[in-house]
Each structure stands twice: as C-alpha cells, then as structure tokens.
Amino acid sequence: TQLLEQSPQFLSIQEGENLTVYCNSSSVFSSLQWYRQEPGEGPVLLVTVVTGGEVKKLKRLTFQFGDARKDSSLHITAAQPGDTGLYLCAGGRTGRRALTFGSGTRLQVQP
Amino acid sequence: DTAVSQTPKYLVTQMGNDKSIKCEQNLGHDTMYWYKQDSKKFLKIMFSYNNKELIINETVPNRFSPKSPDKAHLNLHINSLELGDSAVYFCASSRERAVHTEAFFGQGTRLTVV
C-alpha cells in the first residue's frame, strides 16, 4: 500500500485535449510537490504547494492542493507532445526529512 | 556544468559482486539523497546526508553503504549484489533539509544484476 496514490496510472491522449491527474492520500501533508520525469532523466520540479486550497498556474498547467492537504490535482489544458512524461507527486510531512513520492502517472500526448 | 552528476549511467554486473555509484553536486547544497526507482517507477528514499552527517537511513539492507567524503559528494557502495537490487538509483540534492525544499536529481544509474 502506497501512501500517495496517483490516478490514472497511464494516460494516452491526442494533442489539444485537456486532462487531470490526481494524487490522493489518507494522510495530511505539510507540502506537496509535482515533478515531471522524462525517459533517461531524473525528475524535475514543476511546483510546490503548501497551503490547503492553494492553486498555482504554470502556463497551461494548473496545480491545486486540497483544502485538507491530503490530495492534489494537476490539470493540463490543450496538451502538447512536449508534455509527455512521468508525472510524480511528492508529499512532505512534519517530522519526516524526505519526500514521499506517489505511484506516478505516465502521460503520452499523441501529435 | 551539470548540477547533479552521477556515474556510471549504466551498470551491468553479476550477482555477488560489489559495486559503487558516485554522485557529485556543484550547487553548493547542504543535503544529498539516494533514491531507488523500481520497475514500476516508484521512487523511494534510501539515505540522506546533511553536511556529511547521515540524517536518514531507511530500511535498506546493510549491504548498501553510503559515504560522504564532503558535502558535495555522496557515493553509494553495494556489497554482494542480488537480482532484486536491479533498479534505477537517483542521487539528489537540496539547499536545505526542510522537506518542502526543491530536490535536484541526477540522471540516474540503471543497475542491472544478472
């Protein structure tokens, strides 16, 4: 059982479509980060959210932290092939000195 | 001028061998990590060092031993390699050890034990 469950696990869509990826837990997190990992590379940070209900936008990407700080979502508008990759959520908890990573969502955007 | 670099990128070795993976960061960060990513892409923390001091040691077999000669380097030595050790190992660093601090990852070392 993983502390942070992501859904869906796999997503294949056409260029121009919208999508949402979810990151859920029964535990409260003090912060939530989203990373994108491309094949053969390490994860790269996209955003950090720390306040319940917080919404951050990064161009076509919108990130939301749940009010209770137990879940988060990533919404991509008008997906492009360059968005293809593995999306990982990672939570920080008080008293823990390292991030807890989610199970990952593999996104493929077809041109 | 890679920020976090690890070597080698690929490592194929036989069961029972001992191998090391090296990691260096030129970001001036105080904290470094080793993560293991399994075949299902799940990333799990193994170790963390802050200014050469071990601060995280998860439930990892004692065949795995990290060594930090200085705060810019964190190497991982693995004794008596087993098939189940096959995975991608990522080194990472962060400016401070606060958990919300951005982690910068290396490119990973794909270890295959045959």
Return the HEC string of A20-48. EEEEECCCCCCEEEEEEECCCCCCEEEEE
Return the residue of B nearest to A103 by Cα.
Answer: B42
Question: In whole angstroms, what is the distance from residue A103 CA to residue B110 CA?
Answer: 19
Question: In whole angstroms, what is the distance from residue A49 CA to residue A72 CA?
Answer: 9
Amino acid at position B40, single letter: K
Q: pLDDT confidence of A2, banded at 50, 70, 90? A: low
Return the residue of B nearest to A46 by Cα.
Answer: B102
Higher-pLDDT residue of B9, A3: B9
Residue span of the structural domain in which B26 resides: 4-113
Return the residue of B nearest to A34 by Cα.
Answer: B102
Mean pLDDT, residues A40-48 taken together: 95
Residue span of the structural domain in which A102 resides: 5-110
Residues of B in contact with A45 (CB under 8 A): 102-104
pLDDT at A98 over 90: no
| A75 min Cα distance to partner chain B (Å) | 21
| A40 min Cα distance to partner chain B (Å) | 7
Residue identified by tokens 């999306």 is A87
Q: Are B38 and B87 in contact (CB under 8 A)?
A: yes
Q: Are B34 and B46 in contact (CB under 8 A)?
A: yes
Number of domains in chain A: 1
Q: What is the CATH number of the domain that holds B79?
A: 2.60.40.10
Which residues of A make CB contacts under 8 Å with B? 2, 30-31, 33, 37, 40-45, 48, 50, 86, 88, 90, 92-93, 96-101, 103-104, 106
Question: In whole angstroms, what is the distance from residue A51 CA to residue B58 CA?
Answer: 28
pLDDT digits (tens, 9 = 90+) for A53-96: 999 999 999 999 999 999 999 999 999 999 999 999 999 887 77
Q: What is the CATH number of the domain that holds A30?
A: 2.60.40.10
**Does the beta-carbon distance from A42 to B100 stay under 8 Å?**
no
| B97 min Cα distance to partner chain A (Å) | 7
pLDDT at A1 over 60: no
Looking at residue A97, its pLDDT comes to 73
Residue identified by tokens 């996209």 is A46
**Does the beta-carbon distance from A99 to B103 stay under 8 Å?**
yes
Number of domains in chain B: 1
Angle at the Cα of A99 from the Cα atoms of A97 and A103, rounded to 5 degrees: 150
Q: Are B25 and B4 in contact (CB under 8 A)?
A: yes
Least confident stretch, A24-33, B28-37, B41-50, B96-105: B96-105
**Does the beta-carbon distance from B100 to A103 stay under 8 Å?**
no
pLDDT digits (tens, 9 = 90+) for B50-107: 888 888 888 789 999 999 999 999 999 999 999 999 999 999 999 876 667 789 999 9
